[in-house]
């Protein structure tokens, strides 16, 4: 309207600016209508359990794409009575030919019609099949997921291809310049010797030939039963998902036949502590124009707690407080340059290449560890620096507020993305049958006090250490000495007097 333009000119002529506040309504413009939110019910995670025990969990998130998947309580920790490596094979074989689809390509083409992609990931305790696609294709997606999880053909040539892929991955694992995956594998083997989460996550070379369709079917018959599964979806209506689940996941006869699961391994993780060493020539790990110098890698861990316990949150905050990273990380606010491992270790000892804290947590135990790497001649000193850091964790909890804020912001930022929400919903419902919402977790983080940090650290320091060492280990202190340092007041290694240096 002419009036609107006149008003606009009046206010935008520069001179008119100072005398009007932004909250004054502009003349001639209709009164705005604001959307209102009625309570939290729009964001709650809805959970339904079907007659066969399968749980369906969903979280609505508005948009045209959804992420839907099946999570199974099955992973390398369940392989005690089977050859290790089954979970590794299952992950690689996922979304290959099924009863309805003749090949992986057919599956991918079907998903493509709905702009979809699929992926399978396994961890020590969970196997996750996920699809992201347009909401309109939900029916097709759930049908496909049901088929991929319960009706895989596991053809001989597919298994043979998987053997090749697994062999390649194992070679690659040993040649990578970043030894973190290998060290994580070793520290678990040391901390939980021969049981549950200490069992190998990657297929050992000698088992590659042993795993075939019969072995896989034996395993799947016990672990792929509906009460060990969750169908989780983000970005869809709950009722719709439940309807699809009833259609495709009730009364389905899996490819391995139905029989009452006979020997499901329910053993609880037994923390043993211990050391796993791997003498390895690391001098040629990365040749090239700028080779990384030869390093020795050490990881030292102590038992923390399971993610079902209340202490899980203080441990997560403690892990954030320790933080750390590589000596090449570019600093800056929010990059964690103020975490303890930066302030006390990397900034003081220029020869340390890396010092990073990790927290692995499972339904019955957990492990808080520090990974450090340095020149082989400085291994003894490096170990002592880590043991001192462990002892000092119980001391003054400076940086506590910063660590809590960083943990909350990380949680919130990660939960912006749909696949992350999907994994969070799925894993929580699979392990606890319900879901704690992000704002509840933030409240729990806010409530952590310096006293909590001191308490959980003291408890942790009572456990035997788990140690993983990789590289040239001539200067590595003995396990007993590392244990003595962690039981001492200041974290120092017992002094050694050598006559011949």
Does residue 122 fall inside a structural domain?
A: yes
Q: What is the pLDDT of residues 364-386, one digit of tens each?
A: 999 999 999 999 999 999 999 99
Overall number of domains in the chain: 2
The answer to whether the beta carbons of residues 408 and 321 sit under 8 Å apart is no
Choose between 284 and 356: higher pLDDT. 356
The answer to whether the beta carbons of residues 55 and 48 sit under 8 Å apart is yes
What's the rounded mean pLDDT across residues 477-483?
97
Confidence of residue 2 (pLDDT cuts 50, 70, 90): low
Does residue 211 fall inside a structural domain?
A: yes
Burial class (CB in 10 A: 0-12, 13-18, 19+), 470: buried
Note the pLDDT of residue 286: 64
Does residue 27 fall inside a structural domain?
A: no
Whether pLDDT at 330 is above 60: no
Q: What is the pLDDT of residues 40-97, one digit of tens each?
A: 555 689 999 999 999 999 999 889 999 999 999 999 999 999 999 999 999 999 999 9
Highest-pLDDT range among 175-179, 240-244, 264-268, 337-341: 240-244
Classified as helix, coil or strand, 70 is strand
Confidence of residue 309 (pLDDT cuts 50, 70, 90): very high
Note the pLDDT of residue 12: 52
What's the rounded mean pLDDT across residues 384-389?
97
Q: Quick one: 303 and 208 in the same domain?
A: no
Note the pLDDT of residue 499: 54
The answer to whether the beta carbons of residues 409 and 445 sit under 8 Å apart is no
Does residue 461 fall inside a structural domain?
A: yes
Q: Quick one: 442 and 300 in the same domain?
A: yes
The closest alpha carbon to 261, from 228, 214, 213, 223, belongs to 223
Lowest mean pLDDT among 25-29, 117-121, 413-417: 25-29
Q: Quick one: 288 and 429 in the same domain?
A: yes
Spell out the residues 6+ positions from residue 430 whose beta carbon is closer than 8 angstroms to its own: 55, 71, 73, 126, 229, 230
Q: Quick one: 363 and 440 in the same domain?
A: yes
Q: Quick one: 224 and 366 in the same domain?
A: no
Note the pLDDT of residue 1: 53
State the residue range of the domain holding 200: 46-250
Does residue 302 fall inside a structural domain?
A: yes
Does residue 81 fall inside a structural domain?
A: yes
Whether pLDDT at 301 is above 90: yes
What's the rounded mean pLDDT across residues 174-200?
95
Does residue 358 fall inside a structural domain?
A: yes
Whether pLDDT at 420 is above 80: yes
What's the rounded mean pLDDT across residues 412-420?
95
Note the pLDDT of residue 5: 53
Percent of the chain with pLDDT over 70: 91
Distance CA 22, CA 127 (A): 54
Note the pLDDT of residue 18: 56
Q: Quick one: 241 and 278 in the same domain?
A: no
What's the rounded mean pLDDT across residues 145-152?
98
Note the pLDDT of residue 399: 85
Lowest mean pLDDT among 194-203, 257-266, 326-335: 326-335
Q: Quick one: 290 and 240 in the same domain?
A: no
Note the pLDDT of residue 383: 98
Distance CA 91, CA 162 (A): 10
The closest alpha carbon to 352, from 333, 336, 329, 368, belongs to 329
Q: Is the sign of the CA dihedral 415, 417, 418, 424 positive or negative?
A: negative
Q: What is the pLDDT of residues 49-65, one digit of tens each?
A: 999 999 999 999 889 99
The answer to whether the beta carbons of residues 84 and 76 sit under 8 Å apart is yes
Q: Quick one: 480 and 362 in the same domain?
A: yes
Q: Quick one: 478 and 350 in the same domain?
A: yes
Does residue 195 fall inside a structural domain?
A: yes
Q: Which two tokens stand for residue 314?
A: 């203080």
What's the rounded mean pLDDT across residues 215-233?
96
What's the CATH code of the domain at 282?
A: 3.30.830.10
Note the pLDDT of residue 333: 53
Q: Quick one: 453 and 306 in the same domain?
A: yes
Confidence of residue 398 (pLDDT cuts 50, 70, 90): confident
Q: Are strands 466-471 and 274-279 parallel, antiparallel or unpaired?
A: parallel
Q: Quick one: 84 and 186 in the same domain?
A: yes
Note the pLDDT of residue 433: 96
**Composition of the chain by helix, strand, coil, percent to 5:** 40, 15, 45
Classified as helix, coil or strand, 325 is strand
Q: Quick one: 449 and 376 in the same domain?
A: yes
């Amino acid at each position: 309207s002419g009036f609107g333009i006149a008003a606009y000119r009046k206010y935008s002529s520069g001179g008119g600016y100072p005398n009007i506040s932004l909250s004054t309504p502009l003349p001639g413009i209709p009164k705005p209508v604001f959307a209102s939110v009625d309570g939290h019910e729009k964001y709650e995670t809805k959970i339904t359990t079907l007659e066969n025990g399968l749980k369906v969990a969903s979280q609505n998130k508005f948009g045209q794409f959804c992420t839907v998947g099946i999570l199974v309580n099955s992973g390398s920790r369940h392989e005690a009575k089977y050859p290790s490596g089954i979970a590794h094979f299952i992950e690689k074989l996922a979304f290959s030919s099924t009863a309805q689809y003749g090949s992986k390509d057919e599956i991918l083409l079907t998903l493509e019609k709905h702009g979809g992609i699929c992926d399978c990931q396994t961890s020590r305790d969970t196997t996750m099949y996920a699809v992201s696609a347009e909401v309109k294709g939900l029916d097709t997606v759930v049908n496909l997921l049901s088929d991929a999880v319960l009706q895989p053909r596991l053809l001989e040539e597919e298994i043979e291809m998987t053997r090749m892929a697994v062999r390649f991955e194992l070679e690659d694992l040993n040649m990578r310049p970043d030894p973190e995956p290998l060290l994580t594998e070793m520290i678990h083997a040391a901390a939980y010797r021969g049981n549950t989460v200490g069992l190998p996550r990657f297929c050992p070379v000698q088992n590659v030939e042993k795993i075939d369709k019969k072995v896989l079917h034996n395993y799947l018959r016990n672990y792929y039963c509906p009460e060990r599964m969750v169908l989780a979806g983000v970005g869809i209506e709950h009722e719709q998902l439940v309807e699809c689940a009833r259609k495709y996941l009730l009364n389905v006869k899996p490819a391995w036949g139905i029989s009452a699961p006979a020997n499901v391994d329910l053993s609880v993780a037994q923390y043993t502590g211990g050391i796993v060493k791997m003498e390895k020539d690391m001098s040629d790990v990365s040749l090239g124009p700028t080779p990384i110098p030869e390093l020795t890698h050490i990881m030292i861990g102590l038992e923390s707690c399971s993610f079902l316990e209340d202490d899980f949150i203080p441990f997560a905050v403690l892990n954030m407080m320790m933080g750390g990273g590589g000596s090449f990380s570019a600093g800056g606010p929010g990059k964690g340059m103020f975490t303890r491992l930066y302030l006390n270790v990397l900034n003081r000892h220029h020869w340390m290449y890396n010092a990073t804290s990790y927290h692995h947590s499972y339904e019955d135990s957990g492990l808080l560890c520090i990974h450090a790497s340095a020149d082989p001649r400085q291994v003894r000193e490096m170990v002592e620096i880590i043991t001192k850091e462990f002892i000092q964790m119980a001391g003054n909890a400076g940086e506590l507020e910063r660590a809590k804020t960083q943990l909350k912001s990380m949680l919130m930022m990660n939960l912006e993305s749909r696949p992350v929400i999907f994994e969070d919903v799925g894993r929580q419902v699979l392990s606890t049958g319900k879901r704690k919402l992000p704002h509840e977790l933030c409240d729990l983080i806010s409530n952590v006090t310096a006293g909590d940090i001191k308490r959980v650290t003291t408890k942790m320091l009572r456990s035997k250490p788990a140690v993983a060492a990789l590289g040239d280990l001539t200067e590595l202190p003995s396990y007993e000495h590392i244990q003595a340092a962690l039981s001492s007041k200041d974290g120092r290694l017992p002094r050694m007097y050598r006559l011949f240096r």
